[in-house]
Chain A
């Protein structure tokens, strides 16, 4: 079973806040799913390698050429806050 402390630690890693009222529900859902995936303990996977990607494209390179992106304004228009064409964030240096 996942403990309350564990859940809150995981939430912190994921940059999420879990409401006190929701903790129980999250733990129940997480336990249910973790219990289900325990079926993998029975899977005959002893000496198999791990599959990392879906196909065997490794080391896909392209020429290191600069390509200009033509919609700078479109990028900036999506930002919640900008100043002088730069993304604006709260002060980080005190």
Chain B
């Protein structure tokens, strides 16, 4: 048995049947990290000792609890079914972890050790999951290739000369290369779904407000959302169970009833109404991507879903809106990095103002500065109405367009990324071209609806192609079931595996 190839629900089964211990699982992942990290470069920090220590402790507790459960009620057995204790996890490096560095892959936070845990990290620790480490990303989650990390470049496990996508590129590459069984990412304009698509794994961006943002280093507060990156859809539902829920520390978190998302996985889409917006299949989308999605559409029809072409002309408006709103919010959020309370401080300065300016100028990378400048520009006097106010109105327009679609359809089906993974270095010097890589994903954040990315095949060079299923607000169950049913049919993981090709 190769432990690191198993999904979390398979590991859960083995733990329950005592075929494996948490220590064995965690150790297998540590060994895999030691074997593959040099090639892939997914981690900012590996917490080997901490993870193994946690695992050992969980095994001891499990033994004690099992002895108790064997003598006791059904309730204990029921709890055991959903038990995730002992299954390790990787965490994107913009989620605060008490005592472990949280760098946001930035020189600015290179030595920052958060004094508290993000709520989602608390949730994970409450479930007793050993933490394997912190995963690489584009600096402050700004980018679509993880090339903007000031720590290291992450390589795509399917082809090491290509990008893993971004900004959660480390999380997606670590899951794809079996260095973690699953990971947490964050998604502001596609940062979970696009890397998941480029690395052939499953990524879910929940409805805005379903998951707490407390302790997620803020990029664009009205768009950011934490979500799971996993090997399959069942694992996605399992991890969403752990992180979803109201948090009084995040005033934008919604108080919706807790549900068990795994119960939604029915392997049945008969009668499900799927809309395919033709505008998402335009000239900018690669031919092979379109062909694979067409095949996926045929599969849904075979499975009994009702698939119709529809019109949702928002992608370009949404992208423009997104870059105005996200940069405006970033310019405000990143104002806190001043070199006083935490973060990088410049060596040379002669007064307080110079300390601020020099620390920020030296601590932030190019893309971050570019976005702060753009954000400051659109908020500055004389331009506020022309850009920011207009973008907020366009956001209302985008939301309304989605609302109209969900009066007719349960799910919308689109590509995730216009192309499969591109070469490292290919788009690095052209920010606008890099921004266009997000054309299919940003409208989802602008409309604050949920969407899942799952693999639907590979292109002629063997690189994975992703499909995006979008749902109405808080209808995660609908898109998870639609994704699950498709996954059961095509069995992507059984047919394709990353091969760590050199070019």
Interface residues of A (CB under 8 A from B): 2, 7, 10-11, 13-17, 26, 29-30, 32-34, 36-41, 43-45, 48-55, 57, 60, 62, 69, 71, 74-75, 77-81, 87, 89-92
Contact = CB atoms under 8 A, between A and B. Distances in A.
Contacts of B369: 16
Contact of A37 (B323, B345, B352, B358): B323
B370 A26 contact: yes
| Residue of A13, A38, A48, A54 contacting most chain B CB atoms (<10 Å) | A54
Contacts of B319: 36
Interface in B446-499: 448, 473
B352 A78 contact: no
Contacts of A79: 340-342
A16 B324 CA distance: 19
A66 to B, nearest CB: 15
B116 interface: yes
A48 B400 CA distance: 10
Contacts of B344: 80
B45 interface: no
B112 interface: yes
B313 to A, nearest CB: 10
A57 B222 CA distance: 12
Contact of B321 (A10, A40, A54, A75): A40
Interface in B193-243: 208-209, 222-223
A15 B432 CA distance: 24
B126 interface: no
Interface stretch (B16-24, B32-40, B65-73, B383-391): B383-391
A7 B373 contact: yes
Interface stretch (B85-93, B147-155, B247-255, B267-275): B247-255
Interface residues of B, number: 69
A41 B393 CA distance: 11
A14 B222 contact: no
10 contacts: A15-B356, A26-B373, A29-B432, A36-B323, A45-B396, A50-B395, A79-B341, A79-B342, A80-B340, A90-B349
A36 B320 contact: yes
B46 to A, nearest CB: 22
A43 B396 contact: no
Contacts of B355: 89-90
A53 to B, nearest CB: 6
Interface in B381-431: 387, 389-397, 399-400, 431
Given A32-B432, A87-B340, A54 B209 contact: yes
Nearest to A19: B361
A74 B115 contact: yes
A89 B340 contact: yes
Contacts of A11: 373
Nearest to B447: A54
Give the most central of B324, B338, B356, B377: most A CB within 10 Å: B377
Contact of A44 (B338, B370, B397, B431): B397
Interface string B313-328: 0001101110110000
Given A30-B370, A33-B323, A45-B397, 15 more contacts: A14-B372, A15-B335, A26-B370, A26-B373, A48-B393, A49-B393, A51-B392, A54-B209, A54-B222, A74-B113, A74-B115, A77-B113, A78-B342, A80-B345, A90-B349
B167 interface: no
In the A-B complex, the 5 residue pairs with the smallest Cβ-Cβ separation, listed nearest first, are A74-B115, A50-B392, A78-B342, A80-B345, A54-B448
Contact of A50 (B349, B360, B389, B473): B389
Contacts of B361: 16-17
A51 B432 contact: no
Nearest to A78: B342
A94 to B, nearest CB: 10
B97 to A, nearest CB: 12
Given A14-B376, A16-B372, A45-B394, A51 B254 contact: no
B100 to A, nearest CB: 12
A28 B252 CA distance: 36
Contact of A39 (B111, B248, B316): B316
Nearest to A81: B345
B118 to A, nearest CB: 14
Contacts of A51: 392-393, 395-396, 399
A29 B370 contact: yes
Contacts of B335: 15
A89 B208 contact: no
A58 B435 CA distance: 32
Given A32-B432, A71-B115, A54 B373 contact: no
Nearest to B344: A80
B98 interface: yes
Interface string B325-352: 0000001000100111111110001111
Contact of B113 (A16, A30, A78): A78
A13 B331 CA distance: 10
B374 interface: yes
Contact of B393 (A15, A33, A45): A45
A48 B373 CA distance: 28
Interface in B362-380: 364, 369-370, 372-374, 376-377, 380
